[in-house]
A and B are shown apart, each in its own frame.
Chain A
Amino acid sequence: MTWLPLDRNAPSERDAVLGLYPEAYARHREFLEATTAATDAELLELCKARMAQLLRCREELARHSPERLAELESWERSSSFTGTERAALLFVEQFVLDPTLVSREMVGDLEAELGTTGVINFTTALAAHEASLRLSTLLDLAPAG
């Protein structure tokens, strides 16, 4: 439960909190949708789950199964992930922890999988969704529904 004093009748805490500024909230949702549409949605979903683990975002974590999350915790030792997923997970972990340390090798590995434009759009999507998850963690938003 968020620490903000809010109307408890809103459909979700996200709606209640971010809806305090309806115009910005609506445009924010459109931005997230546009970046999702510009990249591989399944790959982004996987990376959102990993980002949620790193950021301890309970709103997002609740959207994924405990089995999937357990597997993601140790993805480096798992054989369940494809080469593209592994390159993306390595990239996204460093992106969240310290983007200045994202190496040329990490980018190159991802570029080999997604192409140059693919990496740009994937990174734009990551940045947009990471900001949303950080905001959720900061405000301690409860999972929807």
Chain B
Amino acid sequence: MTTPKLDVKGVPAGEDAAMYLNSLSDQRAVGAYMTFFLSTVGIPPDDPETVELVRIRNAVAQACEY
């Protein structure tokens, strides 16, 4: 179970906490983020493994459990 700092219900293990958070967010902002994210796919180094490695490294550095 996640323990959010906000006054929202926790998310049980196995459920997608990010999707839940997105559902509470401004939908235009969420949509704009997804469109931006997709537009960056293919930008050099365009190597999914390297990008994933950097993403994981960032998550570790910032203690991002998700």
Contact = CB atoms under 8 A, between A and B. Distances in A.
B33 A121 contact: no
Interface residues of A, number: 29
B7 A116 contact: yes
B63 interface: yes
Nearest to A24: B39
Interface in A89-142: 99-100, 102-104, 107-108, 111, 116-117, 119-121, 124-125, 128
A23 B40 CA distance: 8
- Secondary structure of the B contact surface, majority rule: helix
Contacts, number: 73
Interface residues of B, number: 21
B36 interface: yes
Given A23-B39, A27-B36, A28-B36, A121 B5 contact: no
25 contacts: A21-B43, A24-B39, A24-B40, A27-B32, A27-B35, A27-B36, A27-B39, A28-B36, A31-B32, A34-B26, A34-B28, A34-B29, A34-B32, A35-B26, A38-B28, A38-B29, A99-B62, A100-B62, A108-B5, A111-B6, A116-B6, A116-B24, A124-B26, A124-B29, A124-B33
Interface of B: 5-8, 21, 24-26, 28-29, 31-33, 35-36, 38-40, 43, 62-63
